[in-house]
């Protein structure tokens, strides 16, 4: 199995050593690891010839980049208008209570990452949460508990 350094080197070698490839490099590293570590940011900085502060600025500007590893299961609760009005915020609060984390955090055991999103495009089925790539619809606190139990028994 390739080490992280070897994989990052392979990613870097796919692009010219130019600053204009910074976002592509970060996207590919995140795709490979699920987040962008400080070590990978330094490698990108050195390779693209840009200051580490610029790499960090880009990585923190775009919400699609993660600087912390995410859990094995990503829970994304919709807080778009329809979901919010039908109790999306209560679903977030229930998950925060059950998982003992806040939205945007990952459990210590690295099993769950809880995030909120603006819309998942399923307004008629609100409130909605995505568990990894699966839609969970018409949520209630009871359904949330059942979903978590199902994940635990997988």
Bridge partner residues of 112 (DSSP) = 73
Q: What is the pLDDT along the chain (154 residues), one digit of tens a residue?
A: 456 778 888 999 999 999 999 999 999 999 988 899 999 999 999 999 999 999 999 999 987 898 988 899 999 999 999 999 999 999 999 999 999 999 999 999 999 999 999 999 999 999 999 999 899 999 998 999 999 999 988 7
* Burial track 85-109 (b if 16+ CB lie within 10 A, e otherwise): ebbbbbbbebbeeebebebebbeee
- Do 138 and 103 belong together in one domain? yes
The pLDDT tens digits for 41-68 are 999 999 999 999 999 999 999 878 989 8
- Do 140 and 86 belong together in one domain? yes
CB 45 within 8 A of CB 51: yes
CATH number at residue 87: 3.40.30.10
- Do 45 and 86 belong together in one domain? no
Closest CA to 104 of 91, 95, 113: 113
What are the CA-CA distances from residue 103 to residues 41, 46, 94, 107 (Å)? 25, 33, 11, 11
Q: What is the number of domains present in the chain?
A: 2
CA atoms within 13 A on the CB side of 53: 0
Neighbours of 79 (CB within 10 A): 20
- Do 80 and 57 belong together in one domain? no
Residue 66 in any domain: the answer is no
Q: 């994989």: which residue's tokens?
A: 7
Q: What is the structure's pLDDT at 135?
A: 95
What is the total residue count of the chain?
154
CATH number at residue 39: 1.10.10
Residue 143 in any domain: the answer is yes
Residue 104 in any domain: the answer is yes
pTM of this structure = 0.74
CB 122 within 8 A of CB 78: yes
Q: In terms of residue numbers, what domain contains 13?
A: 4-61
Assign 8 to helix, strand or coil: helix
């Amino acid at each position: 199995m390739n080490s992280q350094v070897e994989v990052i080197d392979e990613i870097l070698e796919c692009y010219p050593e130019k600053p204009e490839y910074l976002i592509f490099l970060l996207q590919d590293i995140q795709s490979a690891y699920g987040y962008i570590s400080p070590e990978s940011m330094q490698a990108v900085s050195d390779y693209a010839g840009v200051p580490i502060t610029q790499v960090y600025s880009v990585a923190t500007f775009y919400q699609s980049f993660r600087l912390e590893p995410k859990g094995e299961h990503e829970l994304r609760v919709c807080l778009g208008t329809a979901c919010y009005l039908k109790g999306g915020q209560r679903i977030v609060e229930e998950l925060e209570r059950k998982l003992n984390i806040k939205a945007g955090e990952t459990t210590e055991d690295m099993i769950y990452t809880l995030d909120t999103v603006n819309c998942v495009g399923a307004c008629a089925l609100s409130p909605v949460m995505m568990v990894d790539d699966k839609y969970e619809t018409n949520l209630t606190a009871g359904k949330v508990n059942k979903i978590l139990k199902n994940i635990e028994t997988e």
